[in-house]
Amino acid sequence: MSFDFKGKRVVVAGGSKGIGRSIALGFAQAGAKVSICARGEAALGAARDELSAFGLPAHAATCDLGVESQVKGYVAAAAEALGGIDVLINNASGFGQSDDEAGWAASLDVDLMATVRASHAAIPFLLQSQGGSIVNISSIAAYRPTTRSVPYAAIKAAVIHYTTSQAATLARQGVRVNCVAPGSVEFPDGVWEQRRADNPELYGRTLRSIPFGRLGYPEEIADVVLFLASPLARWVTGQTIIADGGQLLGV
């Protein structure tokens, strides 16, 4: 399936690596003008170059999505560079693992509050769009208890709930809000590539839990995100699509 986002302006908060990078490239390939942000300059610059290769305006800026002032400044700069915002993707994660102040702060500040802040900053522009859309990224961790990453799972569940509240709030203003909950996705320098090396037992157990016999690819999550942001999903709002290769089925 090919998507057509010609003339659309897309902001991907957390778009330099992995799933975020694939989402940004998917929109650019479909004809959109894209802005991305991240903390790491090297990966951000490399992703910007990839976006520019499609021959359309591409904007990139460093931003710590855990800092309110930086989020507001980035979204405003992205809207200026692109000429507005039609689609916002909230993708960044702090990956809070430990059940302590630091672990909870990491997930609260980035997974949840960056989603809230970027959305608030982008809504004035989305309201000026014809068919504005927000897609938040959660995780299948939101659907089951865990002993390994308690803050991450709880906050990703909050993202799903916030998605429904956003959708209810913005529906009468013509802005759709949806969510994608990926399963275990592997990519260079990502969490699961690291686990393959440093915790092969966990990696193997996770691999065996997926009926398709492999971990996901970032592009497979990006395709679902593009669908939700596209006119093909024009009658869909407040929904979370699980994209996990059957991982949650437990078969």
Active site residues: 138-139, 152, 156
Contact 19, 222 (CB under 8 A): yes
Query: What is the spatial distance between Cα 209 and Cα 204, in angstroms, rounded to a whole number?
Result: 9
List own/partner pairs for 163-168 with CB under 8 A and 24 or more apart.
163/136, 163/138, 163/238, 163/240, 164/238, 166/119, 166/134, 166/136, 167/237, 167/238, 167/239, 168/238
Query: What is the spatial distance between Cα 115 and Cα 248, in angstroms, rounded to a whole number?
Result: 25
Q: Which of 93, 158, 92, 86 is nearest to 122 (CA)?
A: 86
Contact 14, 20 (CB under 8 A): yes
- Strand-pair partners of 59: 35
Query: What is the spatial distance between Cα 190 and Cα 37, in angstroms, rounded to a whole number?
Result: 17
